[in-house]
Amino acid sequence: MNIATGARQATNGIPVSLQAERQELQALVDIATQTVAPLWPLDSAIAVNPLSGFEDQAFEQALPEAAGLFGARPSLSLIQWRKIMDEGRIDYVAMRKAVVNALGGLEEAFASLGPDLNAYNLLVARLTELPAEEVPAIRRELSPAHAILARWLAAFFDRNAALRLPGRHLGLYACLSTALRQDPALVRTGDATAAHWLELVPADPIEMLLFAARRDGVARERRLDWLRSLVVALPGWAAHLRWRSEHGGPAASEGAPATMIELMALVALVDGTVRNGPRGLPDPGTEAPDVEQALLKHFGLTSDASATWSEVARNRLRSVAAQSHAELGMIFQEAAEASFLAEFAPLLEGASARMTAPVTKPFAEAQAVFCIDVRSEPMRRALEAQGRYETLGYAGFFGLPIAINPACEAPQRNQLPVLLSPAHVVAERAATGREAEADALLSRQAALADARAMLDTTKGGATGFATAEAAGPLAAVALLARTLAPRLSDTLRKRLVGERAHLLTPSASNDHDQAHDHGACTIPLEQRIAYARSMFALTGLSAQTARLVALVGHGGCTTNNAFAASLDCGACGGHPGGPNARLMAAILNDTQVREGLATEGLALPDHTWFIAAQHDTTRDEVEIFDRQLVPASHASDLARLEQALMRAGAQCREERAGRLGRTAEDLLTGAAHWGEVRPEWGLSGNAAFIVGPRALTADIDLGGNAFLHSYDWMTDVDGSALTGIMTAPMIVAQWINCQYLFSTIDNEVFGAGDKTTQNVVGGFGVVQGSGGDLCVGLPRQSLFRDDGTPYHTPRRLAVIIEAPLQRVQDIVLAHDAVGRLVENGWINLVVIDPWKHKAHHWVRGEWAARPC
């Protein structure tokens, strides 16, 4: 080989030009991967923005583009929007302003087109008066080839199957390309060349993609679009794979490695056997000429009459008639967003003004720090109504970046936002004073684990039939009990299994001799002091605390619900927040920690005791932990707080029952009933993330629609506390808001569809019916009433902060993740000037007074 020839060869024998093409393709794959958001497994399901990969675009541009790519609707139907407006969720004045803005301003909107007619009249008629058809909720059907691939993907990723798919250890592409080539069903779905195509497919996934691109004539400049189409062919499985690759850790891929490029190659492989037609849903709007005629007829005009109009007037008619379904829906959505701000911004401005007046505030009998979750707002309001109780809002992981090693043979559990990585792995140990009960509980759980292992034999093999015959009668008895007496059944189950949540607790140290501490660590004293200090800094909680301070995590309580984790605490990685509350309470009660805080000027009163609790958002009950550790001197304080929490819970149940159309008593039964499809509304209705002192919202009934994060701008001298709030909890709230928004707009594509027709796959996801693509987002029952009317109003998150404008602006400009959301309109940022007490809305890089 001469020098010139050698220069054209890579060291591994691959031509340099081909190497460059492979590298270019890999870079495009990395970009195309961002088309879908990660999909967390069911046991740690958290809300994400399904269109997070489009956040670098303006919201109103990204939504129709994404809708076209995924084959989704870009908005609710006009019929649904009209129902929302009829219910009073959209204010007439806000709607009027949204229409005027859509037309380009007052002059364009009200310029005369003819006698008593203008563009405003035309667009209002189009939105609210002309006949409109309901847009059917049609889930995009998989092609036969994609359905076959989905079936093999389910077999590959299922870690619980008794009979594992052979060759999983070779990787996704090597395993399934072999299986697909041998699957006669795939050949039958294809054309006459399918069998020959399957014989030619390369063994390397990158080569497969290059081979398919050349065969189909995909030009290099079009390859990114082509790769994105491969991703959205099975967006649910792609989303699962993205979680697996980026967040699952080594354990998720053990024994079955898989990458996104392998999935794309498999889609290209099956696509080569049969050509897929266009997948997008047509825009449900009428053709523009027909709309023009309908508008003219609506106003008693004819085509001949409009022919006499000026060219400018006719163009305005054509423009209104040509408005797409996405554009019409955006007008309604902007009006819904403005309606919320129009109702609450003046109330917040008034509260801000009142806070400047000197007020003699009675000392709180007890304080409670709740999670910022929207479901905490009604409970906080109800508790404060019971007496001298003060509440605050803080991210529900209480600032502890931990993972927990459970005391039994269970996987490590991350108890922090997915934006963060665990800094500490803490062990679960017996609660102080309850060691004997904890040991008995662990023994019972070990026995139950052995029984489950035996029952798992029913998943495969001939022995499964005998096992199923033996277990059947017992299962029938359990089924009858859960159906006829769900609350009694639930009580018995708790007694049999034991109160695990009370008997076992995470520990900041591992100085006790328990085998399950392996891999766990202590949290150094300086770190514990820092976490305690952060809670005071981020919430504005004064060092002059009450005698009793409750740290209240939260979690849902449902039975037979694949989406149960979606009702738990998102800040705790889709798990209940009680463990974090208990660990933080232990840290704050620690003498060394208090001494460390005192040296930093944060001296807590000796009489203050911190207790941990958990708010059951399904039952509206608050459970107190570690009561055996509460000093006798605080027993009466705790008793009074518990009574107040019980009364507050009863008030919340009455309020929530009305929104669910049920009785308060039925909510308790529904939480335990295995057939209940809507145990609670979850975070439906979420509309705002409000950052400020409790006095800003204390006198306002926000209806459980706002995340409330406590903050005092006057104690945050350098703005670091607000930076922490806007770069973490605010972004998590935006994820939640977007998941609810898009799951409502098209529940079949961006949501999970009907809960009653789903089946769990592999323990990590759900599919509709017997198989297919993994469902993403939220089920229909979490968002819509039984009559099909959306309970959740689709609107972007309103982030409302009381702080100096310049401080907020500096944070927006300094942090790309925040600036992107603000500048591209994925959130509505409103800041209340603490000196002038006026709300200012960030609009295209500038502050505009009075956002509504």
For the annotated binding site for Zn(2+), the residues are 371, 373, 554, 569
| Alpha carbons 482 and 503: distance in angstroms, whole number | 25
Angstrom distances, CA of residue 653 to CA of 267, 617, 656, 665, 668: 49, 10, 5, 8, 9
- Please give the C-alpha separations between residue 71 and each of 22, 146, 229, 333, 411, in angstroms, as whole numbers: 30, 15, 11, 20, 37
Burial 517-539 (b: 16+ CB within 10 A, else e): beebeebebebbbbbbbbbbbbb
Q: Take residue 238 and report the two structure tokens written for it.
A: 């792609």
What is the Rg, in whole angstroms, of the alpha carbon atoms belonging to the chain?
A: 29
The residues facing 425 across adjacent strands are: 403
Q: What spatial distance separates the first Cα and last Cα of the chain, rounded to whole Å?
A: 75
> Which residues have CB under 8 Å from 269's CB, separation 6+?
177, 180, 198, 201, 208, 212
Q: Quote the strand ranges of 145-292, DSSP E.
A: none
Report how far Cα 53 is from the mean position of its chain's Cα atoms: 15
Tokens standing for 796? Answer: 């972007």
**What is the rounded distance in angstroms from the CA atom of residue 732 to the CA atom of residue 417?**
8
DSSP assignment of 87-142, as one string? TTSS-HHHHHHHHHHHTTSHHHHHSEEETTEEHHHHHHHHHHTS--PPPP--PPPP
* DSSP conformation letters of 144-157: HHHHHHHHHHHHHH
Secondary structure element (H or E) that encloses residue 39, with its range: none
- Three-state DSSP class for 734? helix
Neighbouring C-alpha atoms within 13 Å toward the C-beta of 173: 20
Which pair of structure tokens corresponds to residue 341? 């701000």
Residue ranges of the annotated binding site are 371, 373, 554, 569
Rounded-to-integer distance, Cα 310 and Cα 641, Å: 73
691 close to 801: Cβ distance less than 8 angstroms:
yes
Residue 340 to residues 103, 682, 736, 757, Cα–Cα distance (Å): 22, 20, 18, 35
- The token pair that represents 50 in the structure block: 């399904």
**CA distance linking residue 234 with residue 142, whole number of Å:** 8
Q: Do residues 720 and 805 touch, judged by C-beta distance below 8 A?
A: no
Please give the structure tokens belonging to residue 518.
């392996």
CA–CA dist 423, 391 (Å, integer) = 28
Residues 6+ apart with CB under 8 A from 663: 657
Give the whole-angstrom CA distance, residue 790 versus residue 744.
7
DSSP, res 790: B
Q: Which residues pair with 427 in a beta bridge?
A: 405, 507
Q: Which residue has the tokens 């497994």?
A: 41
Residue 477 CB neighbour total at 10 angstroms: 10
The residue assigned the tokens 């005009």 is 301
626 Cβ neighbours under 8 A, 6+ residues apart: 431, 432, 502, 505, 582, 585, 611, 612
CA 690 to CA 346: how far, in whole Å?
Answer: 14
Tokens 């008619």 locate to 317
Q: Give the torsion through C-alpha atoms of 592, 597, 601, 606, to 10 deg.
A: -60
- Distance of alpha carbon 180 from its chain centroid, rounded? 34
Q: Scanning the structure block, which residue is given the tokens 């990969």? A: 53
